Amino acid sequence: MHALRGDTEEEPPSMLWGLDPIFSAYARLYIKDILQMKESYQVPGIFFYKLHPIFKVDVLGTVVYKREREDFFCYGVDDSTGVINCLCWKDEQWKEHSGPVDGSKSQVTSHGGFNPADQLKKLLHAQRCSSHLEIGDVLRVRGPVKTSRGQREIMASTYYKVTDPVLAVQISWMLEVPQLYRKFYDKPFQLANSGQGSDVTDADGASATASLLGRASRLLKDFLREKAVERFRPYDLQQQLVPLVSSFPQQAATQQEPEATQSASKQLHKLFRETLQLLQDEGWVFRKVISQDQVYQVTEHDKDLHRVTRDIVRVDSKREKYAERGCHVLHILSCVRERYSRNVSKTVIEVVLKGLECNSEIISTTDNHYTVL
């Protein structure tokens, strides 16, 4: 089991990586192979083991060294084939409860009742024990592979101490991993050549591109909504679209020769730029200040914009001019541009007004007029 050290021309096109199921899984590779994997020349951060694109791995081994910082632990993990550094971020509980936790206290009070405080302390103690390891402990870690300062390491997304007094977990792991190598990892990633590429029409390519753009838009919207993001810079979100670029069907790119020869990084940048423009056109995001420091506001979570808009409707709807039908959306837009930002579009204001109406803070009297309850 040796890592692929072939030439760059052997690397499959990034458009096809998503067709390999190993790309989406946590690959249980030996540390020796993780250290020897060749990094992609198309997309930095993607590695190859026998033409299989590897993004994230699953490792089990013994801690042979450790370093602790304010926000993370650095554990050296040895699985008997090699040693790799694992960067394990501390949970918020480490910052909120900096003192030691005594897990030996009784779970019940002297009156025999249930004591939530004691139970919470015991739970916190168990959580700390599972994430605070010493040299000689067995650690399981999962996460993406990175190259930092010329050294390969794992940025842990999940990690915990394995309690294995009779070595049952390690024996099971030693039996399972060779099977994975034989059945999957050591079988090269291959795709049958298809002669149907020339039969794909321009309409099909445009449809595939539009479909990709729609998926990218939904992915970013879900991320912004789930994380309650208020503002961001482009490089904060661009990596969210990496899986889409990797799995985009090849036939969509073969319609135009320049598109087919673009590197994956350029494709990712182009897709993100088009998606960001689509979100702007829909009023989902906007730039409050136009400057070299590209900061985008998320309309749905911009509290200041909502407050300014609500105050304008509340005050101006009491004026005689707007008393009967309420404030027109263009009047609200003009006032918002004067008091908040001149870069706010009509679409953005419509998104804000819709949100305020859903929260019962304002009501619409017509399609374009708003007032307060």
CA distance 342 to 334: 9
Provide the pLDDT for residue 118.
81
Q: Report domain 8-185's class.
A: mainly beta
Stretch(es) of the chain classified as CATH 2.40.50.140? 8-185
Provide the pLDDT for residue 94.
53
And the tokens for 328?
A: 């027109």
Provide the pLDDT for residue 199.
40
Q: Is 202 exposed, middle or buried (0-12, 13-18, 19+ CB in 10 A)?
A: exposed
The edge-to-edge listing of strands for the beta sheet with 327-328 is 327-328, 369-371, 363-364
Picking from 38, 1, 26, 7, the residue whose alpha carbon sits closest to that of residue 152 is 38
Q: Which pTM was predicted?
A: 0.47
For tokens 């002297």, the residue is 110
Picking from 276, 215, 281, the residue whose alpha carbon sits closest to that of residue 245 is 215
Q: Report domain 302-371's class.
A: mainly alpha
Buried b (16+ CB within 10 A) or exposed e, 220-246: bbeebeeeebeebeeeebbebbbbbbb
Provide the pLDDT for residue 191.
59
Quote the distance between the C-alpha of residue 237 and its chain's center.
8
CB 355 within 8 A of CB 363: no
CA–CA distances in Å: residue 116 to residues 109, 123, 307? 10, 10, 40
Stretch(es) of the chain classified as CATH 1.10.10.10? 302-371
Q: Is the dihedral of CA 189, 266, 155, 80 positive or negative?
A: positive
Q: Name the DSSP class of 30.
A: -
Q: Across the 373 residues of the chain, what is the mean pLDDT of every consecutive 10-residue run? A: 44 83 92 93 88 93 91 92 92 55 42 73 72 89 89 91 90 93 85 44 52 83 88 86 68 44 75 90 91 89 94 92 90 93 92 90 88 84
CA distance 116 to 372: 45
Choosing among 3.40.50, 1.10.10, 1.25.40, 3.90.1070, the CATH entry for 197-284 is 1.10.10
Provide the pLDDT for residue 296.
92
| pLDDT tens digits, 262-295 | 577 788 888 888 999 989 998 999 999 988 888 9
Provide the pLDDT for residue 209.
65
Provide the pLDDT for residue 116.
84
